[in-house]
Amino acid sequence: MEARRPLKEWLVNPNTLTLYRVGAAPAVVLLLLWPNKVFLWAAAIVFSLASITDALDGYYARRLGRVSNLGKFLDPLADKLLVATALIMLTHLGFVPGWVVCVIVGREIAVTGLRGIGAEKGVVIAAEKLGKWKTGFQIGAIIPLLIHHPYLGLNFHGIGMVLLIFAVIMTVWSGVSYFANFFALIR
């Protein structure tokens, strides 16, 4: 009979952390079904904690030597799922213009498709630093947008919208970069 793993080992397992992010996406959706101040804060906290696991899973995967193909597949998928669901719900609530979500989600679908085509041709399109900045700006924008209401004299919605503008710029820029790199690699 296999011995049980200690709780600490299970909590620092990179794939477990990634799965937390996957599970956080529907939790954020559920919380945003009742967009009062308490549930908006709760959604922002759940989203923030899930976003922290994005850095932690990569750190533990490298530190503990647990980089896996499953993790390489799940990690970007979990990021996209968490960001897309939060943005779609923010659009549903009228907090974010729909075209912004279309640009961000459209870029994610296009780059994922591009990676699939590259994989068929034996070309690996690695994540770029620009893509990591893009994700950082998206997360940085979504958190204050989830809080939405002003607190302590801060206009959280306004802060989120400014960061979202930068996120859209980084999203388009990184998408163009992925396509340029892809076409350079297949030539």
Does the pLDDT of residue 170 top 50, yes or no? yes
- Average pLDDT for 65-92: 85
Domains of the chain in start order, with CATH, are: 7-186 (1.20.120.1760)
pLDDT number for residue 3 = 52
- Is residue 19 within 8 A of residue 76, CB to CB? The reply is no
Contacts of residue 153, Cβ cutoff 8 Å, sequence gap at least 6? none
pLDDT of 1 over the 50 cut: no
Kindly give, in sequence order, each residue whose CB lies less than 8 Å from that of residue 66, ignoring residues fewer than 6 positions away: 13, 14, 15, 60
Q: How far is the C-alpha of 72 from the C-alpha of 53, rounded, in Å?
A: 14
- Give the confidence band of 61 by pLDDT, cuts at 50, 70, 90: confident
Measure CA 95 to chain center: 18
- pLDDT for 12 equals 63
159 or 76: which leads in pLDDT:
159
How much is the pTM?
Answer: 0.88
In total, the chain counts a number of residues equal to 187
The predicted-structure confidence for 79-131, as pLDDT tens digits, reads as follows 899 999 999 999 999 999 999 999 999 999 999 888 888 878 877 776 778 88
> How far apart are alpha carbons 51 and 113 in whole angstroms?
24
| Positions of E strands within the chain | none
- The b/e string for 131-168 (b: 16+ C-beta within 10 A; e otherwise) is bbebbbbbbbbbbbbbbbeeeeeeebbebbbebbebbb
DSSP codes, 2-41: PPPPPHHHHHT-HHHHHHHHHHHHHHHHHHHTS-SHHHHH
pLDDT tens-place string over residues 133-157: 999 999 999 999 999 999 999 999 9
Examine the pLDDT at 47 and tell me if it is beyond 90: yes
**Residue, of 178 and 157, whose pLDDT is higher:** 157
